[in-house]
Amino acid sequence: MLTTKKKIVKSAGKEPTELENSVAQALLDLENNNDFKSLQNLQIVAAKEFDVSEGKKAIVVFVPFRQLKAYNKIQQKLIWELEKKFGSKNVMIIAQRRIIHQVSSTNKVKQQKVPISRTIKSVHDAMLEDLVYPTNIIGRRLRYRLDGSKLHKVYLDRKEFTVTGHKLDSFSAVYHKLTGKDVVFEFPAEQMTTQN
């Protein structure tokens, strides 16, 4: 238990959950493999499990923002290994980002402006990129329905269909739980006809 606490970064006084301990233990087990030697310096912030559909679950591992690029170098192999360890659950890695809300000033005190990278739109867009990594997003459409609701369509690169084709419903469910926005992930038809 003491060795898994080194892999989890928590604020003072918070104890890791059972899922976070099991993810940390899986990462510690993978460190012994030569392909994952770079995991020794990497940590996680949190891990959460989400229901996707009937009996299907997904695990989202939140990592420190500064370590995201190091995770991206080994992410595809790491996800395969973690999915083997956790059975039929899809595993996704997302950087932990902070949203800073702009405070409306009632008094005339000069306040610091919010950096663009910390706005809610920027953080949600970055989450979307992290969620589907290593697949590239090649297009987005925002459709307004007659009842006033919105449908966000995200088109993914067809080259990565074999890697992420089975995870599209997991992407939609996890993104909805994290942000409250409905998103449909698709592969564009134009690319499908050119490869057949």
| Interval 86-104: pLDDT, tens | 887 888 888 888 777 766 6
3-state DSSP assignment of residue 77:
helix
pLDDT tens profile 31-85? 777 677 777 778 888 888 888 887 788 888 888 888 888 888 888 888 888 888 8
Could you tell me if residue 9 is left (phi over 0), alpha (psi between -120 and 50 degrees) or otherwise beta?
beta
Superfamily of domain 1-96: K homology (KH) domain (3.30.300.20)
**Res 105: pLDDT:** 56
Tally of CA atoms within 13 A in the half-sphere of 61 that contains its CB: 30
Q: What is the average pLDDT score of the chain?
A: 79
Choosing among 3.30.300.20, 3.60.150.10, 3.50.50.60, 1.20.58.110, the CATH entry for 114-196 is: 3.30.300.20
pLDDT tens profile 3-27? 677 777 777 778 878 888 888 888 8
pTM: 0.78
Where are the CATH 3.30.300.20 domain residues in the chain?
Answer: 1-96, 114-196
Q: Which residue intervals of the chain are DSSP H helices?
A: 2-5, 18-31, 68-85, 120-132, 161-164, 168-179, 189-195
**Res 112: pLDDT:** 66
Quickly state the pLDDT bin for 2 (edges 50, 70, 90): very low
